[in-house]
Amino acid sequence: MEDAMIVSLYWQRDEAAIAHTQEKYDAYLHKIAYNVLNDSEDSRESVNDTYLAAWNSMPPHKPEILSTYLGKLTRRISIDLFRKRTRLKRGASEYTLSLSELADCIPGGATPESELELKQLGQTISAFLRTLSADARNTFIGRYYYMDPLKEVARYCGMSESKAKTLLYRTRQALRTYLEKEGYFL
pLDDT string in tens for the chain (186-residue length): 899 999 999 999 999 999 999 999 999 999 999 998 988 999 999 999 999 999 999 988 899 999 999 999 999 999 989 888 876 555 556 666 666 676 666 655 555 555 677 778 888 999 999 999 999 999 999 998 888 899 999 999 999 999 999 999 999 999 999 988 888 776
- Buried (b) or exposed (e) across 13-34, using 16+ Cβ within 10 A? eeeebbebbeebbeeebbbbbb
- Domain match, 81 and 108 both: no
The Cα 23–Cα 172 span in angstroms is: 37
Q: What is the pLDDT at residue 121?
A: 82
The pTM score is: 0.62
The pLDDT value recorded for residue 106 is: 60
For residues 157-176, b (16+ Cβ closer than 10 Å) or e, as one string?
A: bebeeeebbebbeebbebbb
pLDDT at 185: 74
Instruction: With residue 94 as reference, give the H or E element that holds it.
Output: helix 94-102
Q: What is the CATH number of the domain that holds 131?
A: 1.10.10.10
81, 14: one domain: yes
Phi, psi of 147 (to 5 degrees): 60, 40
Report pLDDT for 168. 95
152 and 130, same structural domain? yes
Which residues form the domain of 105?
96-181
What is the chain's Cα-based Rg? Answer: 18
CA-to-CA distance for 162 and 18, rounded, in angstroms?
Answer: 41
